[in-house]
Amino acid sequence: MRWDLLLGRLYYGAQPRIDREKRRMGCIGDSITFGAGVVNTRKADAWPFLLQKSLGEGWQVFDYGVSGATLQKEGHFPYVKYGFLPHFRRCRPELVTLMLGTNDTKPFNWNRERFAREYDEAVEQLLALPWRPQVVLMTPPRAFPDSATGVIGFDVVEDAIVNGVRPAVLTAGEKYGVPVIDLYAFTEDHPEYFIDGVHPNREGNRAIADYLLKTLPLAR
């Protein structure tokens, strides 16, 4: 086993057994998907687990979030290298959500043109999978500055989310004809949804899960 896959298994835990009798959803993302804002209770409070609870026994929802992950292959922690793609390919989920980009905005990672190009490539690769999943793109939520310091944590750059990541996601949705869920618009007036300005707290995860239940194409 590659060391990076072993590291991922030790940190994130093994994924549940794949049940081929159930409909399956795979949630690809970073710490916002992983549940870093509710890390001590993430298997109860992170939005993918809340989706699982709401959808019931007919579904399996796999949380493929990796803290720190970037979409860009040139980023400091690229999802294509450290993510759950081997398990994802074995799982063959019929519905896939993609929400990456927040970590790409960090100054040592950010390149607007490269991000847009590689985002398109990622969407094309998902759409070309042999089992033809339904792909849903998600813009990252807003990042809020600390009320005392005025600084956004974790080196995240809000301007790059607004003027780089979000436009790339919206453009890709239109270009490839796939749904886009705009979590930026959903969260932009809700700093109370975040524990540290970047990661949703319990209230924020619940709000996101409830919103996704209303907007995801769950009936096919």
CATH number at residue 165: 3.40.50.1110
SS3 label, residue 192: helix
CA gap 185, 101 in Å, rounded: 15
**Is 168 within a domain?**
yes
* Domain count across the chain: 1
**Is 53 within a domain?**
yes
How confident is the prediction along the chain (220 residues), in pLDDT tens digits per residue? 344 444 444 455 678 899 999 999 999 999 999 999 999 999 999 999 999 999 999 999 999 999 999 999 999 999 999 999 999 999 999 999 999 999 999 999 999 999 999 999 999 999 999 999 999 999 999 999 998 899 999 999 999 999 999 999 999 999 999 999 999 999 999 999 999 999 999 999 999 999 999 999 986 5
SS3 label, residue 61: strand
**Is 113 within a domain?**
yes
CA gap 220, 145 in Å, rounded: 40
Question: Sheet containing 95-99: which strands, arranged edge to edge?
Answer: 59-65, 23-29, 95-99, 134-139, 180-182
**Is 1 within a domain?**
no
The pTM (predicted TM-score) of the whole model is 0.94
**Domain of 43, in residue numbers:** 25-215
**Is 6 within a domain?**
no
CA gap 209, 51 in Å, rounded: 6
